[in-house]
């Protein structure tokens, strides 16, 4: 059988990532150099600092990936690269490296949308079937997408303000829980009472698949502020559990409604927040009750990585998509 090895480059935010994946499925190497410890000090990602660290880390990472995959650059069939959405300076590092590799090796260059990557992380370890509805919940996005076939993306809903991950990060910061907030809020929520505080669930107009999390975020910040003013002790575990439940209720409800609206049997959750234990449990339960098949990436593939980019890259390459050396990086870019 013909094999097609794709080398993928991902630098959209604060993870420098290189992967080599065969036929969009078999991961030969998936190297991620996380900058979390560097940005923790600042309480969030500093774009310029991220770009500089991508620059330092990326070329050794290409070498490491080739070594781990036990293959040479000659064996690579094409180079896939995330060219948006993301931090422009950070993306530029990856795009420049990918262009140089493609030019120097005379190999095709394939541009990949980062959000398509998050969805395709699911395809790496699941027998995903179409048509499907995908919920992307990450640091910068909360999107509901309908797909009837590969590379066909219909946006059903998006956040009108904060992304779910952003809300996790901001309330964690307000409670001094560090960066990134999602994993620690998740952990603390497991010890708390989700019904302790009645934070709002924002569903917007009837039939809308859009999201809004800024009101919920403000409600949590107000609660913390008022408790402090009244010198009342704050039970951080309860705040985390009540906040998380409010996010999860809306995410799960809208995803199930969207799946029913489109008449699909298959649901995907993807992106960093899809690692959340409350979301995983709750959506699994609802999908079971509704007779829907649920596909989730393994935990290590939820957050940014290049294996997911290689997988989209493979399907784009097979569909004949190519970029030339004029390829640019974009802070925001339509999916598809």
Query: Which spans of this chain sit near ligand ATP (rule: CB under 6 A)?
Result: 12-13, 86, 114, 118, 138-141, 165, 168-169, 180-183, 186, 271-273, 275-276, 303-304
139 is in an annotated binding site: yes
- Cβ closest to ligand ATP, residue 238 vs residue 304: 304
Cβ closest to ligand ATP, residue 40 vs residue 322: 40
The bridge status of strand 26-34 relative to strand 78-84 is unpaired
Q: Which residues of 240-276 are buried (b: 16+ CB within 10 A; e: fewer)?
A: bbbbbbbbbbbbbebbbbbbeebebebbbbbbbbbbb
Q: Is 249 annotated as a binding residue?
A: no
Rounded CA gap, 217 and 167, in Å?
Answer: 6
- Given ligand ATP, Mg ion, none, residue 238, with its beta carbon under 5 to 8 Å by kind, binds none
Per-residue contact track with Mg ion, 83 to 122, x per CB under 5 A?
----------------------------------------
Task: State in Å, rounded, how far the first CA of the chain is from the last one.
Answer: 29
| Residue number, 12 or 266, with CB nearest to ligand ATP | 12
Q: What is the CA radius of gyration of the chain?
A: 20
CB closer to ligand ATP out of 131 and 178: 178
161 is in an annotated binding site: no
Q: Is 96 annotated as a binding residue?
A: no
Instruction: Report which DSSP code applies to 319.
Output: T
Residue 276 interacting entry, from ligand ATP, Mg ion, none, C-beta within 5 to 8 Å by type: ligand ATP
Q: Does 304 bind Mg ion (CB under 5 A)?
A: yes
- Of 258, 261, 280, nearest in space to 269 by CA: 280
List of residues 6+ apart from 126 with CB closer than 8 A: 295, 296, 297
For residue 266, list its beta bridge partners.
132, 293
The CA distance from 308 to 262, in Å, is 25
276 assigned to a ligand binding site: yes
Q: Count residues binding Mg ion (CB under 5 A).
A: 2
Interface residue list for Mg ion (CB under 5 A): 138, 304
Annotated binding site for substrate: 136-140, 169, 182, 186, 276
Annotated binding site: 114, 118, 136-140, 169, 182, 186, 276, 304
């Amino acid at each position: 059988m013909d094999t097609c090895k794709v080398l993928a480059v991902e630098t959209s935010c604060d993870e420098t990532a290189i992967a080599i994946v065969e036929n969009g499925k078999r991961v030969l190497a998936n190297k991620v150099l996380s900058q979390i410890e560097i940005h923790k000090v600042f309480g969030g990602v500093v774009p310029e600092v991220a770009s500089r660290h991508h620059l330092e880390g990326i070329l050794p990472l290409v070498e490491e990936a080739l070594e781990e995959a036990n293959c040479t650059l000659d064996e690579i069939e094409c180079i896939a690269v995330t060219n948006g959405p993301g931090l422009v300076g950070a993306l530029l590092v990856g795009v420049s490296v990918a262009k140089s590799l493609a030019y120097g090796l005379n190999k095709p260059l394939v541009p990949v949308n980062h959000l398509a990557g998050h969805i395709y992380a699911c395809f790496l370890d699941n027998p995903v079937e179409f048509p499907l509805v995908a919920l992307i919940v990450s640091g910068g996005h909360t999107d509901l997408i309908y797909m009837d076939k590969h590379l066909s993306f219909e946006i059903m809903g998006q956040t009108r303000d904060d992304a779910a991950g952003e809300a996790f990060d901001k309330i964690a910061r307000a409670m001094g829980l560090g960066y990134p907030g999602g994993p620690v809020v998740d952990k603390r929520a497991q010890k708390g009472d989700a019904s302790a505080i009645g934070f709002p669930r924002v569903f917007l107009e009837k039939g809308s698949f859009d999201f809004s999390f800024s009101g919920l975020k403000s409600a949590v910040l107000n609660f913390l502020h008022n408790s402090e003013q009244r010198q009342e002790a704050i039970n951080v575990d309860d705040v985390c559990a009540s906040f998380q439940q409010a996010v999860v209720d809306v995410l799960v409800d809208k995803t199930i409604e969207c799946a029913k609206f489109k008449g699909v049997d298959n649901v995907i959750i993807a992106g960093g927040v899809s690692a959340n234990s409350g979301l995983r449990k709750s959506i699994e339960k609802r999908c079971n009750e509704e007779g829907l098949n649920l596909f989730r990436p393994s935990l290590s593939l939820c957050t940014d990585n290049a294996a997911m980019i290689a997988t989209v890259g493979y399907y784009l390459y097979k569909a004949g998509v190519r970029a030339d050396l004029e390829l640019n990086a974009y802070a925001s870019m339509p999916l598809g």
